[in-house]
Amino acid sequence: MKIIADENMSAVHEIFSPYGEVVTMAGRAMTAASVATADVLLVRSVTTVDAQLLEDSRVKFVGSATIGTDHIDLAYLQEKGIHFAHAPGCNAEAVVQYMFSAFCTLEPEWRHKNIGIIGCGNVGGRLFKRLRALGVACQVYDPFLNDSECSSLSNLQTVLSADIICLHTPLTRDGQFPTQHMINRQVLEQCIRPGALLINAGRGAVIDNGALLAHLQSGADLKVVLDVWEGEPNINRELLQTVNLATPHIAGYSLEGRLRGTQMVRDGMCRHLGLAVEDSADDLLTGETAGRDGLISLARGQGLDDAILAAYSIAEDDRQMRSELIGSGAEGSKGEGTQFDGLRKHYAQRREFSYYTVSGTGEQACHAELESLGFKTP
């Protein structure tokens, strides 16, 4: 069996080689010709999988190591009898970690703010639970949930008026509740309060990036964190220079999340094709952990925010992105796109909160809070 996979899928050779020949390539470079002889196609969000890509191929299974599926023509796969699996929730913990790092960096009083969450699925739902466990006021907008599924549901207008707005919706262009350009000029000007913090770690086109740039350039009092962008990998450089924190679509890029995604796709392939699961990604994770202590020591006077930023500092990813895309003087779509993808491909290893044990005198004062986020304590 021939397996063609995105080269950025973690441990794809180790996890899939028991099932056949694994050939990796850049996800954006996949063409009908390059995948024609594949039996299995493994992708990430940068590859559009549709009739144009698969029409003349022998592909019988497509796996996407992602939460979202907006890059997959699911109707076409069903029509052709091509099995499909993805990895919902695989990187939810990593995205939640990203959000807390953003809170701590830009809004030191975040625990005393009202936080609005738009989209309460795998990621938004987990963020909601973590915030509620810490006693933070939260309101949720998700038209696909009812009160029995979430006790803090509210209307969109109310959630948009929160102090901190977190976007965790899939990208949809039709239906009763389309999310493309949900955050548009009218919303920015009329619904979001001055001084608010807007964070998008979902899909880039949920925000009209042109309207956001114009709004910020007009002097609007709005703090913005963007991990996802319209037109990736050729993003708007002016917008990059204008937002408060910018990262190259890496919110979910923890080691655990990426391995989990590859494993979930492998399990889906085995289920659909009637194959036995050969091993577990847990063994790979153990190997990656060997020789690392995962310890965070809090001094007297330090607390939860210090532990969060010690585990993951979003500011370093922001600095790296600005250095590569602005400091290097890269101009034109080719240079910017190559560098954006390069930042993702060579992203430094990042561990989730659950990897770390927090100790020290500061730990004693916030023991329960640390554990509510997944940290281990003595």
**Longest distance between any two alpha carbons in the chain, whole Å:** 64
CA distances from 124 to 167, 261, 272, 277, 332 (A): 8, 18, 29, 30, 35
Query: Using omega within 30 degrees of 0 as the cis cutoff, is the peptide bond preceding 233 cis?
Result: yes
- Detail the DSSP E strand segments found in the chain: 2-6, 21-25, 40-43, 61-64, 83-86, 114-118, 137-141, 164-167, 196-200, 222-226, 245-246, 295-297, 357-359
**In this predicted structure, what is the pLDDT of residue 315?**
98
Q: Are 63 and 41 in contact (CB under 8 A)?
A: yes
pLDDT of amino acid 284: 67
Average pLDDT, the chain: 93
Opening angle at CA 349, ends 348 and 355, nearest 5: 150
What domains appear along the chain, each with residue ranges and CATH number?
A: 2-86+254-286 (3.40.50.720), 92-252 (3.40.50.720), 291-312+351-372 (no CATH)
d(CA 366, CA 364): 6
Q: Give the Å distances, CA to CA, from 290 to 283, 294, 310.
A: 11, 10, 20
pLDDT at position 248: 97
Cβ–Cβ < 8 Å for 216, 238: no
What would the pLDDT profile of 93-145 be if each residue is shown by its tens digit?
A: 999 999 999 999 999 999 999 999 999 999 999 999 999 999 999 999 999 99
Res 289 pLDDT > 60: no
Q: 258 has which bridge partners? A: none
Q: What is the DSSP string of 76-92?
A: HHHHHT-EEEE-TTTTH
**Residue 363 pLDDT exceeds 90:** no
The H-assigned helical ranges of 108-179 are 122-133, 156-160
pTM for the whole structure: 0.92
Q: What is the pLDDT of residues 314-362, one digit of tens each?
A: 999 999 999 999 875 555 444 567 899 999 999 999 999 999 999 987 7
304-311 and 92-106 are packed helices; what angle lies between their axes, rounded to 10 degrees? Answer: 120
Q: Give the total residue count for the chain.
A: 378
User: Which residues, in sequence order, are bridge partners of residue 24?
Assistant: 5
| Tokens 């909601």 sit on residue | 128
First to last CA, the chain: 48
The model's confidence at residue 304, banded by pLDDT at 50, 70 and 90, is: very high
Mean pLDDT of 233-237: 95
d(CA 266, CA 248) in angstroms, rounded, equals 26
* Percentage with pLDDT > 70 across the chain: 94
Q: What pLDDT shows up at residue 336? A: 63
Residue 287 has pLDDT above 60, yes or no: no
Task: Tell me what pLDDT residue 291 has.
Answer: 45
Work out the number of other CB atoms within 10 angstroms of the CB of residue 312.
20
- Classified as helix, coil or strand, 63 is strand
Q: Which residues are catalytic?
A: 203, 232, 249
Identify the bridge partners of residue 43 per DSSP, sorted by sequence position. 64
